[in-house]
Amino acid sequence: MRKSIEVMSSFMLMIDIQERLLPAMHNKDEVLSNSARLLTAAKELSLPAIISEQYPKGIGPTVPELSALIPEGSPVIGKTEFSCCANPGFGDAFLNLRFNSGTKDTAILFGIETHICVLGTAFDLMEKYGLNVVVAADACGSRTRENHALALEAMRASGCLVVPTETVIYHMLGRAGTPQFKALLPLFK
């Protein structure tokens, strides 16, 4: 696994942060605020994103606070599979992203639930696509603290880089003093 998070070779994957699912998370406020930071950074850094929604007909769409922040042109993929990678729509979106944005070998994951959809997607991204996987730990959530912690531990043990949102964004920025750094700095004050 590469130890850096480079904008040019990365994309974000937001998993299932939906109206009827988010309220059940033990850390819902943290998930919401850190997901907003990541989407804001994606826009500022022109980082492509893919959005998934688990059975949106029953669970509802992505929460409005995040829908407004999704980078323009990002595909929103409805799914019934737990791993995003098991959905044919994801494969098409990922191949289209690679075709239009160049080689993407690092996926930055965040969403819910950590121990189900995020974990399964992380494993599949490494196994099926050979990608490096970065998990923004504090932008992921589960209904219980224990399930969240166990899933983060499993992903780390499997080779994912599991770090806080702030680490993800600062590593993508690379250095202070740039216009992007100045634009994103208020997110952490």
What pLDDT digit, counting tens, does each position of 141-150 carry? 999 999 999 9
Say how far apart CA 56 and CA 68 lie, in whole Å: 17
Q: Domain count of the chain?
A: 1
Q: Domain of residue 49: give its range.
A: 7-188
CATH at 51: 3.40.50.850
Q: pLDDT at residue 3 above 70?
A: no
Question: What's the rounded mean pLDDT across residues 67-91?
Answer: 95
Share of the chain above pLDDT 90, in %: 85
pLDDT-derived band at 106, boundaries 50, 70, 90: very high
Whether residue 81 lies inside any domain: the answer is: yes
Q: How far is CA 12 from CA 23, 147, 174, 178, 189, in A?
A: 23, 23, 17, 22, 23
The pLDDT tens digits of the residues spanning 57-72 come to 999 999 999 999 999 9
Residue 110 CA from chain centroid, whole number: 3
Peptide bond into 81 cis (omega under 30): no
pTM of the model: 0.95
Say how far apart CA 112 and CA 27 lie, in whole Å: 10
Whether residue 146 lies inside any domain: the answer is: yes
Question: What's the rounded mean pLDDT across residues 101-112?
Answer: 90
Whether residue 151 lies inside any domain: the answer is: yes
The pLDDT tens digits of the residues spanning 168-179 come to 999 999 999 999
